[in-house]
Structure 1
Amino acid sequence: MTPAAELTAFAHRIGHDFARPELLVRAVTHSSISSSTRPDNQRLEFLGDRVLGLVMAEALLSADTAASEGQLAPRFNALVRKETCADVARQVDLGAVLKLGRSEMLSGGRRKQALLGDAMEAVIAAVYLDGGIEAAREMILRLWGARIETVEDDARDAKTSLQEWAQARGLAPPSYEEIARKGPDHAPVFTIRAQLATGESAEASAGAKRQAEQAAAKALLEKVEGQG
C-alpha cells in the first residue's frame, strides 16, 4: 500500500474525510523527519490538546450535572492524559502512518507512548482545522467512546487509594521499590514492588516508573481488598 493509500485508510479509521489532506500529513510528521518544506506536528499537537480538553470538559459536564469541580477534575485528567491519547492512537493504528526519521524508527518510535499521544493530539487538531469543532467533537467522542462512561474507575488514583486504605487501618504509607530495569535506554521497562508495612506486596512493570508504581499499587490494593 502506498503512503497516500495508508493515510486514506487511516482517515477512514478515524471517520473523517479530509478536504485538506495536507493537514493530516503534517499531523503524522514527527520532528525527527521535519524540514523547512516539511513542517512537523508540534504546533498541531498544542492545538489538539486544547480541542480535546474542551470536548472532554463539555462531555463530563453533560454526563454528570451534579458533579463538583473536585469530582470532575480527576475524570478530566484521566481522559486527556498522554497515556489515554496513546491508547486511542493504538486503537486506530496511528503508529502505522507516522512519518519518522531513521533513528526514531530504529528505536521503536511507532510504539512509543509519547510519540503516539502527541500525534493523536495533532490529528485532533487537523480534523478541527479541516472540519471545525463539530467534526472534531464527533471524532473524539466516538474514539474515546466507553472511556467516558467508565472514567470514574480510570480516575481513581491507585497510589492515593492504597495510601488511604493503609491510613484507615493505622498503617504507615506503602513503600515503592524499583526491583528491576530492562531494555535499552530509549525504551526501558521498570518493575516496581509496592509493599505495605504488614508485608503484603505486589509487583508490576511498565515503560515509566510512575506507571509501574500505579500498576503495582492497583495490584496490591486489589489483593488486600480481596483478602478483606
Structure 2
Amino acid sequence: MDDLVENSYGPIELAEGQAPTRAERREQQTQRILDAAKACFIRSGFKGASMQEICAEVGMSPGALYRYFPSKEAIVEAICEADRREDAVLFAKVLQEPDVVEGLVFGAMAHIRHMHEDDNAKLFAEICSEAMRNPAVETTCMKNMVEVQTMFANYIGSAVERGEIDPPVGLDVLLPTLMSIAHGMALNDMPAMGVPLDQLEVLLRAMVVGMLRPTRRPETV
C-alpha cells in the first residue's frame, strides 16, 4: 500500500517503499512546528507561549527549532501565509460569482465556517491582538489585509461601474466596514455561541443588501 506523508498543503502519496525527500521531510517538520505553535498560542496566548513551550509541544530541541523559525513572529508569518493561500482559493470562487451580493455573502460565510470548523477563531483573535502591540506581527497582518481589500475593491467597484449596486458611501468606507463585520463574526465564532449558520446567513445577506443597495441583480444563465 502506498504511504501518506503530510506537507503544508495536506497529505501527499508516496509510492510503496519510497522514502520522503529532504524537501518533503522539511515540509513535514515545518507543519509539525506550526501545529504545535498554534496549540501553544491558543493555550497560553502569544505573549505567554515561549519558544521553549513550542519546543516541548513538538518534541524538538531549541537548536533544531531555530533552524526552521528564528522567532515567534516568523512562526506567525508562516501561519498567516498558509491561511492566505487557503483564502486565495476561496476568493477565486467568490470572484467568479456575477452577483456581488451573493459573492460577498458566500465569502463571508465560508470565512466564518473556516474559523469555526478548523478551530481557528481563538488563534487568529490572539494574532490580531498581538498585531496591535507588535510591529512585526502588524506588518504580517496588514500585508494580507491590503491584498484582500484590493481584490474586493475591484470586485465591488466593477459592480458599481456596471450600475448593479448603489452604495450610500464610497468604497474607502464601505469596504473596511464590510470586512470588519465579517471578520468580527468569524473571530467571535458565532456558531460556537449557538447562532445557527442558516440564520446568520439570512442576517448577513440582509446587511449586505442594505449596504450595497442593488439596483438590479445580474441575470444568471
Tell me the TM-score normalized by structure 1. Answer: 0.28
Q: Which has the higher helix share?
A: 2
